[in-house]
């Protein structure tokens, strides 16, 4: 069987995979939710959901610092990664020895395609299709007028400050909620300084819980830079995890008191 991943590489599989390593948190959770609990033999230290999976499955390092030797010992017949979250050099090293299927997610249609293909590869198409339907239905019911037209800066890192700009899944979701990304003129995850933040003059600042865990003290610091801006701590998983956790995102967005 031959499959093409989302970065255009051909992945050949002799049989349905029986030993899968996932090196991306949102996709690890998806595989677990699809029912592949016996097939999943390796995850990263950041694959924290669900807790049962985190405690039960061997961890093979971080998303960007994989333990290649441990992966070899687990003898996977499929590794599932992501272009943005994993280091290209490590992925290329793994591809020399194992089938590696890579996702590349910028919007919901990419996420649906990833779920569909992984469902096909693992013989879980019915389960994957149900997740896709649930997520589509819940997003179709989303109508958050309080966000419409608001200019937002979405922070992912501190010291230096880094934000989610254009050409990211986070930016896609912000726009889907009707917001304007204050840093859409930049690309990916740029570093910015206090002067740029002040000049952008956002209506809202979202401080994500990941990859940097922003706290109330950071709210106070940014309030000094933008005294008239509404600053909120937000659940980064709801804005950036593109697997089965997406089913919970619309209800979370409804709870944001902006």
Same-domain status, 57 and 13: yes
Task: Note whether 161 and 133 are same-domain residues.
Answer: no
Please report, in tens digits, the pLDDT of each residue of the chain (258 residues total): 999 999 999 999 999 999 999 999 999 999 999 999 999 999 999 999 999 999 999 999 999 999 999 999 999 999 999 999 999 999 999 999 999 999 999 999 999 999 999 999 999 999 999 999 999 999 998 888 778 999 999 999 999 999 999 999 999 999 999 999 999 999 999 999 999 999 999 999 999 999 999 999 999 999 999 999 999 999 999 999 999 999 999 999 999 988
Same domain (yes/no): 164, 77: no
The pLDDT, as a whole number, for residue 204 is 97
pLDDT, tens digit, 9 for 90 and up, residues 136-163: 999 998 888 778 999 999 999 999 999 9
On whether both 30 and 132 belong to a single domain, the answer is: yes
Tell which of 103, 118, 139 closes a domain.
Answer: 139
Q: Are residues 15 and 130 in the same domain?
A: yes
Boundary (domain end) residue, out of 109, 139, 169: 139
Domain co-membership, 153 together with 92: no
From 105, 139, 173, give the residue that closes a domain.
Answer: 139
Same domain, 216 and 163: yes
- Please give the tally of structural domains in the chain: 2
CATH code, domain carrying 207 = 3.40.50.1980
The answer on 123 and 17 residing in a single domain is yes
Please give the model's pTM, rounded to 2 decimal places: 0.95
Which residues face 86 on adjacent strands? none
Q: Domain residues for 219?
A: 145-255
């Amino acid at each position: 069987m031959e499959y093409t991943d989302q970065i255009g590489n051909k992945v050949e599989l002799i049989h349905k995979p029986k030993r899968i390593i996932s090196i991306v948190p949102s996709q690890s959770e998806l595989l677990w939710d699809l029912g592949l609990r016996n097939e999943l033999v390796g995850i990263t230290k950041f694959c924290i959901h669900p807790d049962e999976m985190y405690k039960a499955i061997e961890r093979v390092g971080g998303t960007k610092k994989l333990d290649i030797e441990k992966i070899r010992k687990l003898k996977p017949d499929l590794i599932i990664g992501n272009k943005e979250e994993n280091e290209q050099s490590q992925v290329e090293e793994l591809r020399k020895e194992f089938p590696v299927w890579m996702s590349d997610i910028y919007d919901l249609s990419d996420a649906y395609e990833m779920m569909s293909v992984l469902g096909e590869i693992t013989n879980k198409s019915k389960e994957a299709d149900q997740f896709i339907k649930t997520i589509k239905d819940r997003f179709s019911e989303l109508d958050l007028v309080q966000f419409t037209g608001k200019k937002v800066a979405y922070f992912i890192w501190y010291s230096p400050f880094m934000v989610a700009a254009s050409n990211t899944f986070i930016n896609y979701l912000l726009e889907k909620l009707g917001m304007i990304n204050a840093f859409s003129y930049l690309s990916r995850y740029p570093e910015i300084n206090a002067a740029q933040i002040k000049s952008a003059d956002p209506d809202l600042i979202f401080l994500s819980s990941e990859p940097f865990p922003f706290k109330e003290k950071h709210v106070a610091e940014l309030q000094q830079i933008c005294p008239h801006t509404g600053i909120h701590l937000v659940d980064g998983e709801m804005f950036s995890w593109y697997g089965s956790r997406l089913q919970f995102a619309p209800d979370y967005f409804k709870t944001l008191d902006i």
